Amino acid sequence: MKNLIVGTVLVLICGSTSTGQEAAYGSAERARLLEEEWKDQYRAVDDLRPQIFKGLSAHDAEIANSIDFKVIGGKSQGDQFIPPVATMDDGQRTVIIGQGFLRLLSLFIEEEVYGLKYNKASEVDQHISLVLKQMNENITRQKAGRPLLFVESARTYFHWNAETLKTVTDASDSLFNVNLAFILAHEAGHHVLGHTLLDPKTLTKQQRFIQEEEADKWGANTLIRAGQIPIGAAMSLVLFERMFDAGIDDFHPSNDCREVALIQSSIDSLDEFRSQLEAKGKSVEAVRRDWQRQLAQLREMGNCKNDAQPLQSTAPKEDTVTVTFSAVLRGSNSNLDIANVAAAEFAVTSRGENLVSLANGDSEDVEVRPGRQPFEVVVTLTARQGFTGRVSCKGFMNIREAETAYKLIVRMDSWGNVGSCAVIPDRSQ
């Protein structure tokens, strides 16, 4: 089992779905449970929608509110396994999710929570592999009209007693909701970003992966605007990875970069949730250190490399202003190392998105959202002797619509050590 990063999750109001998994296939009891489960899932989706799509631009809100979210299931179709997908249905923007997928998501989260709380990681990993293998077989059987295998949930497989069931489900409910919220926002992002206007048959696998990254970023930012820390949704990305590896889902190519970006966006937004975290007795600084440590571990273990060029979105950029960015490298008063720098290149990102790349002293027009935004700058230094080094710094910039020019100042204490960085209005322009 991969090292899951659960961390602090703010709770949405909906409970996780009941499960039709405990009754035998074809039985009247299973049909009844499937109908109840399907209604619960539809209710969860309908309850979450108005909570998720808050603070959107006029363009994004118009598209998000026009989407028809469908849960395919019920007595006759409840065992269909359909991963979430954004599609155009006779001109109608649609997101389709299968009841069987939502059941798997709920059971997967329960298993992972059980493994973490009861130190059963190895046993849980083996059972999840078995479940995915059986579900893959059932997809083949269903297409052929053959009887389905009974897929046993962790509740009965591990013989949970009432106390264990309550402990696990109490911890799983909020995680299910934040993962479902992220999935809905992610799929809506495909519509908002114009991905569904492109013919998927013309896209390479790498281009599809880039679309997933773009939808991840839009979904994570949407949750942040709605008052949710998206880090708990990393579980859904792990599930997609397991499904992809098992050959069940090829709509969501997996890469550690998706998890890294989701966790990084949570870290970048922590200051916005200071009051909520402190009300729960948690220190923002302690949470940030813990997530940064785990993020470093994930980066070290994973393979987060992507050299492909992003697709150009067909959706217009809204709620942005155009400003002129310039960059300058400075040294402290007692520092002579700055004179040893022959060249400096600045790569600036905000919320995981590339903002601008500049050479020392250069300027460029940039589209950026107004307001207080986090930023990170990576500076590549070239010494007069020819060797290179790289330093980084994080901070916040306050973009005001009345200000049209900004200067990024990176101050070095010594070679390879950044003392501070700031983005300030450049009133000399």
Alpha carbon distance 367, 318 (integer Å): 10
Say what angle helices 99-117 and 121-144 make with each other, to 10 degrees: 170
Q: Give the pLDDT mean for 86-105.
A: 90
Alpha carbon distance 138, 235 (integer Å): 23
Please give the DSSP secondary-structure letter assigned to residue 26. T
Average per-residue pLDDT for the chain: 79
Residue 4 has pLDDT above 70, yes or no: no
* pLDDT value, residue 66: 94
In sequence order, what are the residues at sequence separation of 6 or more whose Cβ sits closer than 8 angstroms to the Cβ of residue 279? Answer: none
Kindly give the pairing relationship between strand 92-98 and strand 68-72. parallel
* pLDDT value, residue 14: 31
Q: Give the pLDDT mean for 160-187.
A: 92
Long-range contacts: 250-255, Cβ < 8 Å, 24+?
251/83, 251/85, 252/83, 252/212, 253/205, 253/208, 253/209, 253/212, 255/209, 255/303, 255/304, 255/306
Predicted confidence (pLDDT) per residue in 374-411, tens digit: 788 888 888 888 778 888 887 778 787 677 888 888 88
Alpha carbon distance 36, 356 (integer Å): 51
Residue 134 has pLDDT above 70, yes or no: yes
Predicted confidence (pLDDT) per residue in 204-236, tens digit: 777 887 788 889 889 998 998 888 888 888 888
Please give the DSSP secondary-structure letter assigned to residue 394. E
Instruction: Give the closest residue to 30 by CA, choosing from 15, 20, 44.
Output: 20
Residue 255 has pLDDT above 70, yes or no: no
Write the CATH number of the domain with boundaries 321-425: 2.60.40
Predicted confidence (pLDDT) per residue in 33-91, tens digit: 888 888 999 999 999 999 999 888 888 889 999 999 999 988 766 566 788 999 998 88
Alpha carbon distance 383, 326 (integer Å): 21
pTM over 0.95, yes/no: no
Alpha carbon distance 148, 142 (integer Å): 7
Q: Indicate the domain borders of the chain.
A: 28-301, 321-425
